[in-house]
C-alpha cells in the first residue's frame, strides 16, 4: 500500500466505535488486537496508518457493518475538521464557502480532486480520489469523508436541504438504507466518483454564521500553512519521516542512517530530498522530541528519566535542560500548571480551542512566529463572542482590547532577531487574554462571575488573585498553551517576565 495516501486518522476520532461496537465485544477485541484500535484520552493525538485504517474498515465490512466511517462522520461536532468547518461557516455565502474549499483543497484534501460544475441547470459537487484501483477499505473511508462533507454544507446552511441526492464509489451495500438514513438523502452506489447534486438557488443565500473577521484570520492560517504543505507529491517523504518518528518503538535509534535505511534511502538522499521540501532531518527530529516530551512529561506525567530514555537523551538532567530551552521553564513547573488547569474542567483538545490546523514547522524562524500569531488571533476572535454573549463584562472588555490590538496592521507579536538582543514584548495583555479564554473555557461561569466581582487592580495584583483562586493565572495558562504550540523558549521567558512587570489596570 505504499502508493496509497497518508490518511493520518487520529485514535481519538475513533472513540465512538466503543459505543457502536458495544453489542460486538469479539469484533472490538479483533480491531484492538489486529488494527490498532484503543481507548485514548480526548487530547491524545496519536494516529493510525493507512494500512490500519483500511484493514479496520474491511474487517468491519466483513462483519456486516459497511458504513461505520459515515456513522462516525455523522457524530462529529463542529470543532472537527481542523478549523475547516468554522472557516466555511464564516463565509458570506455558500458560493464563497465552496470557492474557498476548492481553492484550498490541496491543504485539506491532498489525496483527491474536488470540483464543482453546472450541467443542464443542475449543480454537481464531485470528489475524485487520485489513487488508482483503491482497496475497498479505502473507498469506505472516503464514503465517510463524503458524509462529513455533506455535514459541512449543512453547518453552513442549517435550515436548508443543501443537497438533493448523492453518489458514492463503494459497491452495492448489503444495507443501502443505512447510508441513506445517515446522510438524509437518496444515495447511489458504484458511481465513478463521489458526487452530490446541490440546489443552485442556495448558492447566494447569506450564511447565518458569516463572520468577516474570523474568515480573514483563518484565511491567514491557511495561507501560512501553504508554506509547510507543498503539493502531495512533495509532501510524501516528509510525511513518511514524521510517521516513522511517531510510530518508532521507545528507545529506537532515530539517527539519520537508521531512519533512511527504514525508508529505503541513503542518508545523503534523505537529507537532500528533505532539503528540497524546505526542511531538515535534524529539525524534524528536534520537533518530534519536543512534542513527545510535552505529551509525555507535561500531559501524561511520565518521569523525566523514562522520557529521556525513550527520546534518546543521556538522562533526566539533559532532558530538563532541553525542556527549559524549548519551553522557557522546567518540565515540573509546566506539569504542575497542567494539573491545575486540568482540575478546572475536562481537557478535550485544550491546546486548540478551534481545532485549527496544527503543524509544528520543521524550521524555526519568522514564519513560525507568524503561524502561532495567526492561531492566537483566530482563538481570540473566534471564542470572544461567547464571553460577550454571556454578559461577562470584564472579560469581554479584555478581549475587545486584545482584538483592537490584533487589528493593527503588520504588528509582530513575537520579535524575530538574534538571541542576544533584548526581547521586547509588544502589549502582552493581548496574549494573556488567550490564557483568560482558556480559563473561562474550562471553569465556565465560575471564572466569569469571579472576574466581574474583582475591583480595579494592577496587572500583578490581578494575576496573584487568579493564582490564589484558580491555582494559576491567565499568564500561566497562556504560557502553557503557547509552549504546547511550540513558541521558542526565550520568547516564553520574555512573555512571563513582561507580564509580571506590566503595570496599570486590566481594562481601560
Q: What is the pLDDT of residues 436-455, one digit of tens each?
A: 777 877 777 788 788 888 88
Flag whether pLDDT at 499 surpasses 90. Answer: no
pLDDT at 36 over 80: yes
Range picked from 85-99, 272-286, 373-387, 414-428 for highest mean pLDDT:
85-99
Nine-digit cell at 405? 490590538
Contact predicate 100/88, CB 8 Å: yes
Q: What is the pLDDT of residue 22?
A: 94
Integer Cα distance of 285 and 79 in angstroms: 29
SS3 190: coil
Who wins on pLDDT, 219 or 155?
Answer: 155
Rounded to whole angstroms, the Cα distance separating 50 from 1 reads 8
For the chain, the average pLDDT equals: 76
Question: Residue 114 in 3-state DSSP?
Answer: strand
Q: Are 63 and 88 in contact (CB under 8 A)?
A: no
Q: Name the more confident of 47 and 80.
A: 47
What letter does residue 134 receive in the DSSP assignment?
-
Q: How far is CA 107 from CA 20, 219, 319, 357, in A?
A: 31, 12, 34, 10
Q: What is the pLDDT of residue 46?
A: 78
pLDDT at 39: 93
C-alpha distances out from residue 140 to 51, 396, 467, 477, Å: 13, 45, 50, 41
pLDDT at residue 15 above 80? yes
Average pLDDT on 315-329 reads: 90
Q: Which whole number is the average pLDDT over 52-75?
A: 93
Residue 56 clears pLDDT 60, i.e. is over it: yes
Q: What angle do CA 143, 145, 149 make, to 5 degrees?
A: 115
Whether the Cβ atoms of residue 90 and residue 209 lie closer than 8 Å to each other: yes
In this predicted structure, the answer to whether residue 55 has a pLDDT above a threshold of 60 is yes
Q: How far apart, in Å, do the first and last CA atoms of the chain sit?
A: 60
Give the number of other CB atoms < 10 A from CB of residue 494: 19
Place of cell 496508518: 49
Instruction: Identify which of 189, 163, 192, 193 has the alpha carbon closest to the alpha carbon of residue 177.
Output: 189
Q: Which comes out higher in pLDDT, residue 114 or 249?
A: 114
The residue that leads in pLDDT, 477 or 404, is 477
Q: Report which of residues 356 and 73 the model is more confident about.
A: 73
pLDDT at 146 over 80: yes
* Residue 62 burial by Cβ neighbours in a 10 Å radius (0-12, 13-18, 19+): exposed
CB 346 within 8 A of CB 337: no
Average pLDDT of span 118-146: 91
State the pLDDT confidence band at 75, using cuts at 50, 70 and 90.
Answer: confident
- Which triple of cell numbers denotes residue 297? 512529561
- Is the confidence at residue 207, as pLDDT, over 70? yes
In this prediction, residue 131 carries a pLDDT of 83
C-alpha cell at 137: 477499505
Most confident of 115-129, 357-371, 397-411: 115-129
In this prediction, residue 49 carries a pLDDT of: 87
Torsion of CA 88, 92, 96, 98, to 10 degrees: 30
Q: How far apart, in whole angstroms, are the C-alpha atoms of residue 77 and residue 508?
A: 37
Q: Is residue 214 within 8 Å of residue 90, measured between CB atoms?
A: yes
pLDDT tens digits, one per residue of 169-203: 999 888 889 999 999 999 999 999 999 999 999 99
Query: With bands split at pLDDT 50, 70 and 90, how would you rate the model's confidence at 248?
Result: confident
- Looking at per-residue confidence, does 211 or 116 come out higher? 116
Q: pLDDT grade, residue 109 (50/70/90)?
A: confident
Per-residue pLDDT, 362:
37
Beta carbons of 285 and 246 less than 8 angstroms apart:
no
- Cβ atoms within 10 A of the Cβ of 260, count? 19
> Tell me: the pLDDT tens digits for 397-436?
544 544 454 444 333 333 332 233 333 344 566 567 777 7
What are the residues whose beta carbons fall under 8 Å from the beta carbon of 336, sequence distance 6 or more?
none
Residue with the larger pLDDT of the pair 425 and 102 = 102
In DSSP terms, 129 is beta-bridged to: 112
Give pLDDT, residue 277: 64
State how beta strands 187-188 and 163-167 pair: parallel
What does the block give as the cell for 353?
A: 480551542
* 0.95 surpassed by pTM: no
As a whole number, mean pLDDT of residues 340-363 equals: 55
Percent of the residues in the chain that have a pLDDT greater than 90, as a whole number:
31
Give the model's pLDDT for residue 319.
Answer: 92
Q: Could you write out the DSSP letters of every residue in 265-321? A: S-HHHHHHHHHHTT--HHHHHHHHHHHHHIIIIIIS---HHHHHHHHT-SSHHHHHH
Predicted confidence at residue 407, as pLDDT, reads 47
Amino acid at each position: 500500500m505504499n502508493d496509497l495516501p497518508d490518511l493520518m486518522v487520529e485514535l481519538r476520532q475513533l472513540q465512538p466505535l466503543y459505543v457502536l461496537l458495544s453489542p460486538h465485544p469479539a469484533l472490538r477485541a479483533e480491531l484492538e488486537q489486529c488494527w490498532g484500535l484503543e481507548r485514548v484520552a480526548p487530547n491524545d493525538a496519536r494516529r493510525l496508518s493507512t494500512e490500519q485504517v483500511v484493514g479496520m474498515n474491511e474487517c468491519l465490512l466483513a462483519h456486516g457493518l459497511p458504513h461505520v466511517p459515515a456513522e462516525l462522520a455523522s457524530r462529529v461536532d463542529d470543532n472537527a475538521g481542523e478549523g475547516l468547518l468554522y472557516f466555511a461557516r464564516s463565509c458570506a455565502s455558500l458560493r464563497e464557502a465552496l470557492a474557498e474549499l476548492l481553492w484550498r483543497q490541496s491543504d485539506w484534501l491532498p489525496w483527491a480532486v474536488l470540483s464543482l460544475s453546472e450541467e443542464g441547470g443542475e449543480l454537481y459537487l464531485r470528489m475524485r480520489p487520485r489513487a488508482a484501483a483503491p482497496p475497498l477499505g479505502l473507498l469506505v473511508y472516503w464514503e465517510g469523508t463524503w458524509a462529513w462533507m455533506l455535514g459541512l454544507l449543512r453547518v453552513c446552511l442549517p435550515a436548508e436541504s443543501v443537497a438533493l441526492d448523492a453518489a458514492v464509489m463503494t459497491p452495492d451495500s448489503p444495507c443501502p438504507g443505512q447510508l441513506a438514513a445517515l446522510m438524509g438523502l437518496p444515495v447511489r452506489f458504484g458511481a465513478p466518483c463521489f458526487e452530490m447534486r446541490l440546489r443552485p438557488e442556495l448558492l447566494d443565500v447569506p450564511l447565518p454564521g458569516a463572520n468577516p473577521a474570523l474568515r480573514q484570520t483563518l484565511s491567514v492560517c491557511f495561507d501560512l500553512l501553504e508554506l509547510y504543505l507543498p503539493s502531495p507529491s512533495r509532501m510524501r517523504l516528509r510525511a513518511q519521516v514524521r510517521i516513522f518518528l511517531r510510530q518508532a518503538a521507545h528507545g529506537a535509534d532515530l539517527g539519520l542512517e537508521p531512519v533512511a535505511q527504514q525508508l529505503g534511502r541513503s542518508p545523503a538522499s534523505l537529507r537532500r530530498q528533505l532539503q528540497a521540501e524546505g526542511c531538515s532531518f535534524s529539525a524534524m527530529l528536534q520537533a518530534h522530541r519536543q512534542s513527545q516530551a510535552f505529551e509525555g512529561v507535561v500531559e501524561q506525567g511520565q518521569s523525566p528519566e523514562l522520557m529521556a530514555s525513550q527520546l534518546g537523551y543521556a538522562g533526566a538532567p539533559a532532558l530538563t535542560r532541553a525542556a527549559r530551552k524549548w519551553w522557557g521553564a522546567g518540565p515540573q513547573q509546566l506539569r504542575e500548571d497542567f494539573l491545575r488547569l486540568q482540575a478546572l474542567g475536562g481537557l478535550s483538545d485544550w491546546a486548540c480551542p478551534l481545532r485549527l490546523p496544527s503543524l509544528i514547522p520543521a524550521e524555526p524562524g519568522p514564519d513560525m512566529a507568524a503561524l502561532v500569531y495567526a492561531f492566537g488571533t483566530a482563538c481570540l476572535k473566534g471564542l470572544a463572542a461567547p464571553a460577550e454573549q454571556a454578559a461577562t463584562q470584564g472579560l469581554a472588555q479584555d478581549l475587545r482590547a486584545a482584538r483592537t490590538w490584533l487589528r493593527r496592521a503588520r504588528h509582530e507579536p513575537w520579535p524575530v532577531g538574534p538571541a542576544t538582543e533584548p526581547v521586547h514584548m509588544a502589549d502582552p495583555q493581548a496574549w494573556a487574554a488567550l490564557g483568560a479564554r482558556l480559563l473561562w473555557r474550562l471553569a465556565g461561569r465560575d471564572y466569569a462571575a469571579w472576574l466581574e466581582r474583582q475591583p480595579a487592580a494592577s496587572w500583578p495584583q490581578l494575576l496573584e488573585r487568579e493564582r490564589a483562586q484558580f491555582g494559576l493565572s491567565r499568564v500561566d495558562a497562556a504560557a502553557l498553551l503557547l509552549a504546547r504550540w511550540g513558541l521558542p523558549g526565550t520568547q516564553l521567558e520574555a512573555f512571563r517576565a513582561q507580564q509580571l512587570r506590566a503595570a496599570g489596570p486590566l481594562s481601560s
